[in-house]
Every structure is written in structure tokens, then in C-alpha cells.
């Protein structure tokens, strides 16, 4: 007997662990469930372990105080050998973990694996998703750069919309009246102690349930789940076509997990760590805060919702969404398991399209004014050539009054308002004057901020913005007035 075997035997006499472990390893799974579709759960677990390890290593250097957090990240990035790589692994590991958890969830949903008797496994999974997202958000805060600072401000502003107890909740969230050292401390506490401990607990419950109830069988269209017969049928399936988890299924889990970790390392090595961005100094206001990738859809949502719907959606939406996820297995615990469930498939497609579209929009954020367009983007030369002095003066007004921050010319500038390259074909002179003076439709009224001369110049310039060969819009009545007016009598009466 080798030395190792002796040690194992000695330990097993006292701990009695070999037999239970063997039972776990040899637990039967349906042959068709030993599939490449069933590898995402274990990959998520491996990513969580990777996060734990890299997190512990980062905590050796990271200083969770308002005054030093940002500097300690600089030290990690630049002064400690491979510190940047560990930060990058942790950051990319987080992104991969959110993605894999979501994919796992979609697969489980489409395979109907949450149905009887595995409802509780799904419920534990919902909590695992929420904890994963919680870790992603709190982790972004620990970066404690400008984006983290203003991200906290956005969090506080959303919290402040809670009726009656809003101010208490804001102070609890921030750990005081402002975003400061106490805020970072409590997010550190959550990110490093509370959430990972809860996550580990739920992972334990989740795995225990998978072992107790057995892995979901491969769903067959038309094979319905019935409470009275399911357990017996599953048992028969295992008898007829069951294989031990080790080695039949585990090799796929292992290969996939290794591939995922390698992908994380590849992204980390090639693309590097996330930030930190600018220092968390609230007096530096030349900033346009953006959330991390997985919260971009939310950024888009709050920009696009009608204002009066924002508070209800922000406060009630999450409650409804979480309740729906938790109740799903109890409301639809039986019946068809396969992807032959049109409502289920359409729901996934709808959610995916919505989240994808919102994320895509948030990447360009057309609703954000381009704060420096008025001084940084010149008016295209083609819009200036051959123009009269008053029209040129109008172009100057256009730039100087920051119109460009929201309106693009030649594709450059803000997209908050419509592009104005052909505005003259859409609005008559009078309509333009009204729009400039009174605003409306997301545009401020410039009535008090422009002199009549500036308005005249600006509108003369805007009236030249139409494609060659396409006449500007004209008020028919105005045309008649102009024709009947003799030159030199424009402002007088006959």
C-alpha cells in the first residue's frame, strides 16, 4: 500500500468520507443528460471559485477606504508584478459569471427543468442570480473611480424615490449623508463577506437538491410531467438508461469549465483590467458616468421611460420581476417540459431582444447630449459655402448656443434631438422660430436666451439646411404675403 493510500485510509477511518464521496460521484444520471447542454451550472460554480481565489489575492493589496482605494488599484495595476492580470481576471471572471449564470438559467427554463419536483432548486437558482448581480454591482463600486462614485449617486437617487422612508433608505445605503468612506466600507462588507457567504450557502443547497432529486432528464416533446407519476417514471428511466455521473458526464463539465477559465484568462491578458477611471472627486464634473456592461440596459431604460412612469417602474418593476421568477415553478409546475412551449420560448426571445436592444442603445446613448460638440465639432464646410453674412452669423449662433450638443450636422454632434441636415424641408421658417423660442419635445425654450437678431440669424441659417434640389418647406400663406409685399415695404403697412 502506497503512502497516499495509507493516509487516505487513516483519514477515512476517522472521517468516513470515502463512501459518501463515491456515492456522489457514482450517482446515476440519465444517459442523454450527460450532454453538452448540462455544463453551464458547473461552469458557473468554477467561475465563482475563480472569483473567490482572485478576490482573496486582490484583498492582499486593495485598501477599502475612500481615501486609498483608488490609489491601491493603481499600485495593483502598475507596481505589483501581475497585479493588473489578477484585477483583469477578477473583472472578466465577473462578466463571464453573469453571462454563464444567465445562460444556465435560460437553458433550465427552456428545458422545463424547474418543474415538479425541482421547484426549490429553481428558487435557490433565482437567489443565486440575484446574488451574482449583487456581487457585480458591489464589485463595480469597489473600483471607486468616477463611474463608481456617480453610479452610487444614481443608486441613491433611485432609492430616494421610495415614498415616506426614502431618506432613511438613502442614509442606510450610503452609511451616512453623503457618498464617502462609510459607503465604500459597507459595499466592501457586502462584496467580500455577506454576498459571497450567502452565495456559497445557496450553491450548497442548489447542489444538494440536484443530488437528491437527480439531474433533469432530457426533455421530450409530448412527455408531460405529472405529480402522481413523475418520480416513478424518473426512477424507471435511471434503471433503464442511467449512467454514473463519473465518468460519463463529468468529463464534459471539466472540459467546458477549463475552456471558460481559459477564455477568462485570454480576455484578461489581451484586454486587461477594467479601470479604474478618473479619481472619485465630486468636484470634477467633466464626466459622463456609465455603468458596467450588465447594467447598461437599465441606463437605457431610465433614459427612455416616460418621466411619470419612472418611479413606479424602478420601484415596482424589480419586485414584480423577482416575484414572477420565484413563483414560476409553482404556477407552471407540471405539464410539457420541452421547448414545445410557445409562451416560454417567446418570453425568452422577447426578454433577450429587449435587453439586447436597450444595451445596444446604451452603448451609443443617443439621449445624452454631447457636452463638447458645440466647441469641438466644426460646422461642415458644405453648409457654409456660398452663404450670406446673416446665414453665417446664424451658424455661429448655432454653435455658440450649444445647439450642436443635441443636434448633429454631418453626423457629428448630439443625437438627443433630430439631426438638422435637412431641417428646412421639414419645418417652415415660422415653425422653426416657434420651436426655438418655445422649445418642446425634449428641447428647452430659448426665448429668454436669444435676442431677436440672434433668432433671425439662426433661423436664416437653418433655412439653408436642405438637400440640393429639394426646396425648403414654405408656408403657403406666407408665400402669398411675400409676393404681395413690394420690396422695401417688408415691415410697413401699405
| Footprint of another protein (CB under 8 A) | 65-68, 70, 149-150, 153-154, 156-162, 166-168, 170-172, 174-183, 279-283, 285-289, 299, 302-303, 305, 307, 310-311, 367-369, 371, 374, 400-403, 405-406, 416, 439, 442-446, 448-449
> Is there a contact between 360 and 134 (Cβ–Cβ < 8 Å)?
no
User: Toward another protein, which CB reaches closer, 107 or 287?
Assistant: 287
SS3 at position 422: coil
Q: Where are the alpha helices (DSSP H) in 365-420?
A: 373-376, 389-400
Query: How many angstroms from the chain centroid is the CA of residue 474?
Result: 46
What DSSP designation does 393 have? H
Minimum Å gap between C-beta 14 and another protein is 30
Nearer to another protein, 62 or 122 (CB): 62
**Burial category of 251 from C-beta neighbours within 10 Å (exposed 0-12, middle 13-18, buried 19 and up):** exposed
**Shortest Å, Cβ 364 to another protein:** 13
CB count, 10 Å around CB of 231? 13
Q: How many CA atoms lie within 13 A of 200 on its CB side?
A: 9
Which one, 203 or 301, has the nearer CB to another protein?
301
Query: Long-range pairs for 382-385 at CB < 8 Å and ≥24 separation?
Result: 382/410, 383/409, 383/410, 383/464, 383/465
Largest Cα–Cα distance in the chain? 121
How near is the Cβ of 141 to another protein at its closest, in Å? 12
Nearest distance from residue 277's CB to another protein, in Å?
Answer: 14
Name the residue nearer to another protein (CB basis): 149 or 230.
Answer: 149
**Which ranges of 143-229 does DSSP label H, i.e. alpha helix?**
146-159, 166-174, 181-189, 195-213
Nearest distance in Å: CB 188, another protein = 12
**Of 117 and 175, which has the nearer Cβ to another protein?**
175
Of 448 and 493, nearer to another protein (C-beta) is: 448
- The span from the CA of 216 to the CA of 150, in Å, is 44
Q: Which is nearer to another protein, 112 or 417 (CB)?
A: 417
- The distance of closest approach from Cβ of residue 255 to another protein in the complex, given in angstroms and rounded to an integer, is 44
Least Å distance, CB 152 to another protein, is 9
Amino acid at each position: 500500500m502506497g503512502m497516499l493510500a495509507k493516509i487516505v485510509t487513516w483519514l477515512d477511518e476517522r472521517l468516513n468520507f470515502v463512501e459518501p464521496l463515491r456515492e456522489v460521484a457514482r450517482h446515476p444520471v440519465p444517459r442523454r443528460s450527460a450532454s453538452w447542454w448540462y455544463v453551464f451550472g458547473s461552469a458557473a460554480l468554477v467561475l465563482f471559485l475563480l472569483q473567490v481565489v482572485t478576490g482573496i489575492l486582490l484583498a492582499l493589496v486593495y485598501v477599502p477606504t475612500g481615501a486609498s482605494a483608488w490609489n491601491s488599484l493603481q499600485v495593483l495595476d502598475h507596481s505589483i508584478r501581475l497585479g493588473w492580470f489578477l484585477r483583469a481576471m477578477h473583472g472578466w471572471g465577473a462578466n463571464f459569471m453573469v453571462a454563464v449564470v444567465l445562460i444556465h438559467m435560460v437553458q433550465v427554463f427552456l428545458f422545463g427543468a424547474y418543474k415538479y419536483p425541482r421547484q426549490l432548486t429553481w428558487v435557490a437558482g433565482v437567489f443565486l442570480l440575484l446574488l451574482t448581480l449583487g456581487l457585480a454591482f458591489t464589485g463595480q463600486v469597489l473600483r471607486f473611480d468616477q463611474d463608481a462614485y456617480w453610479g452610487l449617486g444614481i443608486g441613491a437617487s433611485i432609492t430616494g424615490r421610495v415614498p415616506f422612508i426614502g431618506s432613511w433608505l438613502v442614509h442606510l445605503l450610503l452609511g451616512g449623508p453623503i457618498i464617502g468612506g462609510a459607503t465604500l466600507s459597507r459595499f466592501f462588507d457586502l462584496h467580500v463577506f455577506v454576498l459571497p457567504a450567502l452565495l456559497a450557502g445557496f450553491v450548497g443547497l442548489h447542489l444538494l437538491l440536484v443530488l437528491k432529486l437527480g439531474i433533469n432528464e432530457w426533455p421530450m416533446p409530448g412527455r408531460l410531467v405529472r405529480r402522481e407519476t413523475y418520480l416513478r417514471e424518473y426512477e424507471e428511466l435511471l434503471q433503464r438508461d442511467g449512467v454514473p455521473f463519473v465518468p460519463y458526464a463529468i468529463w464534459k463539465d471539466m472540459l467546458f469549465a477549463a475552456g471558460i477559465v481559459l477564455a477568462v484568462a485570454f480576455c484578461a491578458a489581451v484586454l486587461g483590467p477594467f479601470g479604474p477611471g478618473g479619481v472619485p472627486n465630486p468636484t470634477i464634473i467633466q464626466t459622463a458616468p456609465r455603468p458596467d456592461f450588465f447594467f447598461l440596459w437599465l441606463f437605457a431604460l431610465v433614459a427612455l421611460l416616460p418621466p411619470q412612469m419612472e418611479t413606479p417602474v424602478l420601484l415596482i418593476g424589480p419586485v414584480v420581476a423577482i416575484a414572477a421568477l420565484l413563483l414560476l415553478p409553482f404556477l407552471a409546475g407540471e405539464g410539457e417540459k420541452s421547448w414545445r412551449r410557445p409562451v416560454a420560448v417567446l418570453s425568452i426571445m422577447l426578454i433577450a431582444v429587449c435587453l439586447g436592444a436597450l444595451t445596444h442603445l446604451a452603448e451609443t446613448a443617443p439621449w445624452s447630449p454631447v457636452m463638447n460638440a458645440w466647441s469641438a465639432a466644426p460646422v461642415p464646410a458644405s453648409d457654409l459655402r456660398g452663404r450670406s453674412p446673416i446665414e453665417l452669423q446664424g451658424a455661429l449662433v448655432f454653435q455658440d448656443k450649444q445647439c450642436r450638443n443635441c443636434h448633429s450636422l454631418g453626423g457629428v454632434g448630439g443625437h438627443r434631438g433630430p439631426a438638422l441636415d435637412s431641417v428646412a424641408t421639414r419645418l417652415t421658417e415660422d415653425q422653426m422660430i416657434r420651436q426655438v423660442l418655445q422649445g418642446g419635445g425634449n428641447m428647452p425654450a430659448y426665448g429668454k436666451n436669444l435676442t431677436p437678431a440672434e433668432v433671425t440669424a439662426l433661423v436664416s441659417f437653418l433655412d439653408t439646411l436642405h438637400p440640393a434640389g429639394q426646396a425648403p418647406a414654405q408656408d403657403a400663406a406666407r408665400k402669398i404675403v411675400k409676393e404681395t409685399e413690394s420690396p422695401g415695404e417688408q415691415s410697413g403697412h401699405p
